[in-house]
Chains A and B, each alone.
Chain A
């Protein structure tokens, strides 16, 4: 077993909080040329081969793979404001190690969708590097729709300069091992980082979520809002950290996670961390968990809705508020349909 996705600060070892463990054998894959992808972009977006090596902070083992065996490497540069949505769809029909470097130039703004889906049980090790120069804005939606027994390891690094804003929406429908690491640095003053995420775990899925926002700039804003739905024997380990560094005056940050457990056998581990080295900040975190509210369920059942349907409706209502942040209506509807399918699996 190897330890990946180390949490930003270590705490008591006995509860399996600090690392996510995977079988080293999982990394022994054969990576052929990867060609099953589609890119849609306009003339303001430059898509080029990536000529630099980017490390993967998830673990040394995954980093070596990203640097030496990547079968998809691109740099995407948004030179000017792009009106159209840039869309990259990956049909993960063979093992994929992708490294994508995205740069949003000064004063540019862009919208980007990254979709990963597989009909086979597949392996994915992805590194996504995001750089926002001054006064830039990026809206990005990342969708992971992998088949049940897949292994999905994703590492996202983002750096945000003065007066720039990064909005990320991550939706993960879960798989055997689905591990995400996101490390953001708010380097610039008045910069904003907003992360919304929804993740599902069912069957024997293992989810490892590790989000970290380092706050260096003054008057910055960090929002991390996650909803998790667990069913079957799924296990989830969520670590969400905001680290206010000394000097990050007048910054605000809020990290929250809400977990809905649909089965008696699912397990949730949640560690919302606040690290604060600056007096003049306003930091908050919250975590809540529980089954569907009995009163709400009862009310709906008195209206003739079956218990199963009432549970689905209440979950969809919780998720829809978050889903409304997705800028592309077509994608939003597609995700809602997939959520419907996922909830129909619950018995």
Chain B
């Protein structure tokens, strides 16, 4: 077989060419051209200005102001990666692009439309999505949902529109899953949040096709603080996909988004993320879900980009017989410190959680798996299984596993296993005897290592994930 034309990932020949030709595929930028960019820093005036520009109701402004007060009271975390380079005085928390939210790509300004076209969003929308939201800097610039979804009562819009059009629904759920005082960066988020998606899936409605929101941060020395609020009502089902990327600048950018999910009784939801922020980004994101009786929530997470990530999605298994699964992969390369993991709180009876986490570190990157399993006395007959693997591609990188297991119920089953090590020399040797170069052999093994995660993504996104792995490995070869 001609090795050069061999397709390891399921991607086409063109995809592989694309890999070789576009090392910095996500690293393209438009001019920092905006309608309005708020002055750098954080103050009551800035928060009031954001709220005023959005013409928000007073209850939302009060949440913002309370969050700002809390932000100033809270300390930076005393654990995890060093965040000392973050200086809020050098960050603009709100950048409004030169457009309102549109429902047709034709109406979106050319440069912004080109950005999302390059990222493949309109094509994906056409082929396999039930709806798409696209955020550029601080505002959603495009939102669309298929007609038959609307007929079935599905709401999929940006959060600003939801505040205006569905105020009672938003007020009932907003900040009820992730409280504003949970940590310093969620307080910051609530103070300056802008953009994000609102989804409501009515009782019994099962969406066969996913919804996707894509977040692009173009403006330098700025932050993105989108708020995603999703309610999957009783007996409904939804697959929601989010993607994020940004061009690289010399100074840090900040992402402090928030995802609140409510999965009601007998409902099912899958929340998939492929994150490839630029390597000057501090990604301090918060994601949390409340899961009802007999309901199920799956998280699928791929973390590739950012300079520093602190991201620990959480499932609160409140309902009896509820379950959750987390499958995640992080790939930390040169200059990256990816501190990721999962949190689960078992409250209801017969609740189940399964965690599969993989991390890869190379070229001096630091990958940390950090988790908390918390099983309360009420969680009788709970079951929890955690499995994490760390793969190190060289000896200048680091791979740490820091799981916390807090258990206050004896009628449960719990197990945690973790492994760390290098690629098996025997496996590389075997593949090389079959004609692969050492680099290709490593790539095949790394893809195999990541396959439990890539299998959890829809096919198109699995291909995307394999592309990212190839890019990282290619970079490692060049380091």
Contacts and interface: CB of A to CB of B under 8 A. Distances in A.
Interface of A: 9-13, 15, 17-18, 244, 246-247, 249, 259, 261-291
24 contacts: A9-B402, A11-B79, A11-B404, A17-B404, A264-B377, A264-B409, A267-B407, A268-B406, A268-B408, A269-B405, A271-B404, A273-B402, A274-B420, A275-B398, A276-B392, A279-B393, A282-B419, A286-B416, A287-B414, A287-B415, A288-B415, A288-B416, A289-B412, A291-B410
Given A10-B79, A269-B404, A279 B394 contact: yes
Measured as residues with beta carbon below 8 angstroms from the partner, the interface class of chain B is: 35 or more
Given A244-B420, A276-B399, A290-B410, 8 more contacts: A12-B404, A13-B77, A15-B404, A246-B396, A268-B408, A285-B418, A287-B414, A290-B412
A272 B420 contact: no
B120 interface: no
A264 B421 contact: no
B417 interface: yes
B405 A279 contact: no
Contacts of B397: 277, 279
Contacts of B392: 276, 278-279
B395 A287 contact: no
Contacts of B403: 271-273, 287
B395 A280 contact: yes
Contact of A9 (B400, B410, B416): B400
B390 interface: yes
A278 B409 CA distance: 37
B422 A289 contact: no
Nearest to B417: A286
Nearest to A280: B422
B411 interface: yes
B401 A281 contact: no
A290 B385 CA distance: 12
B420 A9 contact: no
The 10 A-B pairs with the shortest beta carbon distances in the complex, nearest first, are: A261-B410, A10-B79, A279-B392, A287-B416, A279-B395, A274-B401, A283-B420, A279-B422, A289-B414, A270-B405
Contact of A273 (B400, B406, B410): B400
A265 B378 CA distance: 11
Contact of B421 (A283, A285, A286): A283
A244 B80 CA distance: 19
Contacts of B374: 15
Contacts of A18: 79
- Most chain B CB within 10 A, of A18, A274, A285, A291, is at A274
B406 A15 contact: yes
A11 B370 contact: yes
A96 B374 CA distance: 37
B406 A269 contact: yes
